Structure formats: structure tokens, C-alpha cells
Amino acid sequence: MKQSSEALPIACLLGPTASGKTAAALMYAAAQASAAHARTVEIVSVDSALVYRGMDIGTAKPSAEERAAATHHLIDIVDPAEAYSAANFRADALRVTGEIVARGNIPLLVGGTMLYYKALTQGLNDLPGADPAVRAQLDAEAARDGWPALHARLAQVDPATAARLAPNDSQRIQRALEIFMLSGQPMSALLAAPRTNAAREDEAARYRFVPIALEPSDRGVLHKRIERRFDAMLAAGFIDEVKALRARGDLDPNLPSMRCVGYRQAWEYLDGAIDYATMRDKGVFATRQLCKRQLTWLRAMPERIVVDCCAADATAHAVAAISAVAHAQG
């Protein structure tokens, strides 16, 4: 995206799940609040799960105390029965960032949904919107034949997309087939095409988004953190949280909210399809797979500032990197 030489630098603390983003963001906010020339930090969430109300434990949503320590935006803004897209995020994030800057405060973007970050910084591709009829047709076919069969069909029409998706990745397989059915073109080709909307010259050009990436020097360390955190979620009442969501009666496992990592596995368990131990193992595995995808996105950003999230002083290094970007705001 073309940016003005006077573009305002905005720090974006990105990283996979359990990499320590929240701790670093709050430490930076606290440091700014106690500085000689104190400036207020406001955090803008870059997370597709935190937008949903009533989904607190399984999303590792910042606690009430953490949210009281610094204002957080784009959390608890959507009902789980509703959809929220990358386009919605882009519009909301630009609006909120502009409001924070207008108040004279420091915006800090924090999260791990890399598609949201890409939409914010590079604009949106001209992909067709969701079509309930097409999705219902694909869901019916998947119920009859299984998602691996639909994955095989996707491999025939869009081999590039199919190659990067697991045979049971229902959400992404469905979306890729939906795009092909609506446009007649493979999603991989549409994503590679030049963006034709006004994204290049819009409000985002006012800012220079600077990615600071919390990445593990030893992925095994992060895997252990993920396992401990998933167990902590279970101990904190995650299954009861999903029970309460199911009890509403208007949610189903095909909704984007219920496809979030952990919620899908808990729903399966409550359906009686798998036992508790299997649910736990599948939840941990799915979270590790999410982590892998997040790292793949990050490593495709040569401009990122890398902080080893396995280091003992990772939080301090992340705070220093954020401070350097904020200092350039003047």
C-alpha cells in the first residue's frame, strides 16, 4: 500500500497464540502511564475470536482487570450468531485508530489474526461475499460425503488452495468452494490478482503499520505453553461456557464463532461424538495447528521486527520495540 512520507507509525504487536502478546502490551501501557510525560495507550485487538460476546474462557480474552488497566477496542462487539469479516475489521480498526490519535493517545494493535492484519495493511481482494444458499448446499454435501470428499473436489478446481488446507478444514474448504461456485474462478487466482478497490489510497495511507512479531526460537516451548493454557481453560470452566452457548438454541457448529479453535472440539464432546480426553487432545492439536499457520503468515513479512518469545526477557524486548515505534510518532 502506498504511504505518505508523513505517515504516522503505528506499532502492531503480532504473534501466535500463547506467545505473550497481552503481557507485553499491558507492560508497555503501564510504562507509558508512569512515564514523566505520560501518554495513554489504547489497545486495538486484532483477533477474530475476541470480537464475540460470551466467548471469554476459550478465547483467552483479557480479564476485567487487564481491560481496566488499559482501554481495549474491538472486543465483545459481535453476537456469536452474527458474522464479522476482515472487511468489518478493517473499517472498525481504521475508525478506532483515528479516534485514538485524535485524542492524543497511543494506539497499539495487538493480536494474532493475520488475515485481519493483511486486510488492514494491504487492502481487500474483490472476493464474492457469503451466500447462505451455496453454504447450505455445501454443508449438505459434506454431511453426506464428508469434508475430505469436498477437499478432493477443491483440489480439482483450485489445487493451490487445496494444497494448503487439511482435508477436514471445513470452514476454509467451504469458503474456497463457495468462491469458485460464485465466481467461476479459483480463490488462489483471485487472491493473487491486483486489488481494484480504493484500499491503496484510503485512510490507511495515513499510517505506517510496523509489525513487531513475537516468534519462538524453539517451537516446542510454545507447544508446551499451548498445552498448559488449554488445560487451564478447561479448569476455568470452558466446557460450561460452551454449554451455555449451546443452550441459547440459535447457535450451531457451522457458525464462524463456533468454529473457533477449542469451541469446535468442545461442541463435538457435548454432542457425545468424542470423549473428554479426545476433546482435550484435539483442542491442543488444533491450537498448535493454528500457531503453525500464524507463524507462516508472520514469516512472510520481511519488514517485521522479531522478538524471541521464548527468551526470559521477551516482554522487555517487545516493550522496547513498541516504544521505539511510538517514539517516532513525535
Neighbours of 128 (CB within 10 A): 15
CB 105 within 8 A of CB 41: yes
Closest by CA to 20, choosing from 191, 213, 260, is 213
Cα–Cα–Cα angle for 99, 103, 107, rounded to 5 degrees:
65
CA dist., res. 216 & res. 213, Å (int): 10
Give the chain's length.
Answer: 330
CB 43 within 8 A of CB 29: yes
Please report which confidence band the pLDDT of residue 199 belongs to, taking 50, 70 and 90 as the band edges: very low
pLDDT the model gives residue 232: 97
CB 175 within 8 A of CB 129: no
| Residue 2 predicted with pLDDT over 50 | no
Neighbours of 322 (CB within 10 A): 28
Please report which confidence band the pLDDT of residue 36 belongs to, taking 50, 70 and 90 as the band edges: confident
Q: Please report, as a single letter, which amino acid is at residue 275.
A: D
CA dist., res. 80 & res. 257, Å (int): 5
pLDDT the model gives residue 319: 97
CB 193 within 8 A of CB 123: no
pLDDT digits (tens, 9 = 90+) for 235-286: 999 999 999 999 999 999 888 899 899 999 999 999 999 999 999 999 999 9
Cα–Cα–Cα angle for 263, 268, 271, rounded to 5 degrees:
125
Sign of dihedral through CA atoms 319, 321, 324, 325?
Answer: negative
Lowest mean pLDDT of 56-60, 128-132, 163-167, name the range: 128-132
DSSP string, 199-224: GGGSGGGGEEEEEEEEE-SSHHHHHH
CB 25 within 8 A of CB 43: yes
Q: Which long-range contacts (CB under 8 A, 24 or more apart) does 216-225 make?
A: 216/16, 216/19, 216/295, 216/308, 216/309, 216/310, 217/308, 217/310, 217/311, 218/310, 219/291, 219/295, 221/310, 222/16, 222/18, 222/19, 222/291, 222/309, 222/310, 223/288, 223/291, 225/18
